[in-house]
Amino acid sequence: MADVTLRQDAAVAARPGRRPARDISRLREQWTAIALSAPALFLMALLLIGPVAAVLVMSFTDYQLGASAIAFIGLENYRDLFSDRVFWTSLGNTLRYVAIVVPASVALGLGVALLIESGDSLKRFYRAVFFIPVMATLIAMAISWEYMLHPQFGLINLLLKKVGLAPHAWLTDPALALPTLAVIGIWQLFGFNMVLFLAGLVSIPRHLYDAAELDGVRSAWSRFWLVTWPMLGPVTMFVVIISAIRSFQVFDTVQVLTKGGPNKASEVLLYTMYSEGFEFFRSGRAAAIAVVFLAFVLTLTVIKARLIEKRVHYL
């Protein structure tokens, strides 16, 4: 009787097209999860991918804001863009801005984080003070900087006069406008980098410092170079990439303080895109700038991540 039962069970299991109950239950759970998450995934795709696709399509048209007719013009917007002196000027200004802000904000954020972490008191106070520029409204802070940088009544020029130095036209001098905006960008960004580096410093295992001390590493510089800096590799990579992306996105301070002047000396890519789209109403050309900007930032970010990845030590 037992042999007959076993043969029947084996025959049932061997029938084609029949799945065990456990597999059917697992498939049912998977399809239920897909069905429940599908609306959210569709909404995310619509909100994230939809605008990018719309801008890409618009860049191949002559669309102007408020126009009733749209014509497909192919690569004409891109040809005009790459032959435009203003575009190359704004691209060069953007690269110079990034080249100043990223290294300075990363180095300053790391230095302040090391000083705060090495202290025994008032850590929370210093963290809050240096993080204030990140929390503050950028437009309000830009207006405050505009008053401080005023050529006649600004606080900075008044301090320079007090110590016997000549005042400067910080925002109207072509040689000083972009570096001045870069200093404001460093001030705004280094507090965010400081918080990230503080998190990285706290996560370093203490036994590594004990082992280094047993091996004869005594000075603070040696401990930093042999233990702290290698262990901060992942955090540093993240900080550099985020700082570069945020620096490329500079717009608010340019719009409030200089409007790209004087004589295009501080005009950056996003301000050029804004001018094309909302001052000259050439939306198709503005979309082409947006596509070039996105491709440029993505390419530079990937290259930078690959280069930094080779020097990163993971725990």
Residue 4's pLDDT is 47
Closest by CA position to 20, among listed 30, 9, 31, 5: 9
Domain range summary for the chain, segments of one domain joined by +:
2-58, 76-309
Q: Which residue has the higher pLDDT, 265 or 117?
A: 265
Report how far residue 174's alpha carbon sits from residue 22's, in angstroms, rounded to the nearest whole number: 72
**pLDDT tens digits, 74-114:** 999 999 999 999 999 999 999 999 999 999 999 999 999 99
- Among 1-10, 165-174, 176-185, 271-280, the least confident range: 1-10
**pLDDT tens digits, 37-77:** 888 888 888 888 888 898 999 999 998 877 778 899 999 99
**Helix-, strand-, coil-residue percentages of the chain, each rounded to 5:** 75, 0, 25
Q: Which residue type, as a one-letter code, is found at position 195?
A: V
Report how far residue 212's alpha carbon sits from residue 216's, in angstroms, rounded to the nearest whole number: 7
> Which of the listed CATH numbers 3.40.50.1110, 1.10.287.70, 1.10.3720.10, 1.10.569.10 matches domain 76-309?
1.10.3720.10
pTM of the entire structure? 0.82
Q: Which two tokens stand for residue 223?
A: 């401990």
